[in-house]
């Protein structure tokens, strides 16, 4: 793979499976739902995997408006946002300031919970792995707004395309409540297309059942 990695959803799914980032089977989620697949972006923990993910985020951001600062929520979002800043520079020739937050405020040195580029008066895109309940994203949005940022949008790796508490998905709830766009690199539909192309009928049938129960 070259440094000019271009993002392809099916190639990313292959890589995610090979790294154990994506697994098919039976997994009980925090919500109590038994999901036929599990996605843990924290396992994208080598250079090739992170390069591919970051190239996907960078490709998306180039097509977005108001990209003045990119921001990675602690802790998982920190390597994602750093790698995406590198991908924007290397692949697209665009230098975008980036920052992240600490879980605990520092009372010495520069202090505070925000690290990196200033967000005051800036239009900020948040980069994260998934939005499950939306709680974490709402917390980060509050932190950024308190620092004077305007939230331009959110980028995630996976859209599970399933209902939250009501009829909307967690992503749709965030979009509606915060009035911002949320884009995903891959979706549950991409996973199902992948299984169909591979002839994995049993896994596909379980995904279909889950989509009928909880899909949007």
**Residues with catalytic roles:** 106, 108
Spatial distance between the Cα atoms of 67 and 43, rounded to a whole number of angstroms? 27
Residue of 184, 114, 132 lying closest to 153 (CA atoms)? 184
Tokens 């305007």 map to which residue? 150
69-72/123-130 β-pairing: parallel
Spatial distance between the Cα atoms of 89 and 198, rounded to a whole number of angstroms? 35
Spatial distance between the Cα atoms of 151 and 140, rounded to a whole number of angstroms? 10
């Amino acid at each position: 793979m070259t440094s000019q990695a271009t993002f392809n959803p099916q190639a990313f799914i292959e890589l995610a499976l090979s790294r154990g980032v994506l697994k098919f089977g039976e997994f009980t989620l925090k919500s109590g739902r038994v999901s036929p697949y599990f996605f843990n972006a924290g396992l994208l923990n080598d250079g090739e995997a992170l390069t591919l993910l970051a190239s996907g985020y960078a490709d998306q951001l180039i097509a977005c408006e108001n990209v003045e600062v990119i921001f990675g929520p602690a802790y998982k979002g920190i390597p994602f946002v750093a790698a995406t800043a590198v991908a924007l520079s290397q692949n697209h020739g665009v230098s975008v300031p980036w920052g992240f937050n600490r879980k605990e405020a520092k009372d010495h040195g520069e202090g505070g919970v925000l690290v990196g580029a200033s967000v005051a008066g800036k239009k900020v895109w948040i980069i994260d792995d998934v939005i499950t309940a939306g709680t974490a994203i709402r917390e980060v949005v509050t932190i950024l707004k308190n620092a004077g940022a305007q939230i331009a949008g959110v980028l995630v790796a996976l859209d599970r395309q399933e209902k939250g508490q009501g009829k909307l998905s967690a992503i749709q709830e965030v979009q509606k409540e915060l009035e911002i766009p949320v884009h995903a690199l891959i979706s549950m539909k991409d996973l199902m297309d992948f299984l169909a192309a591979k002839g994995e009928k049993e896994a596909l049938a379980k995904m279909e059942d889950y989509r009928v129960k909880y899909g949007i």
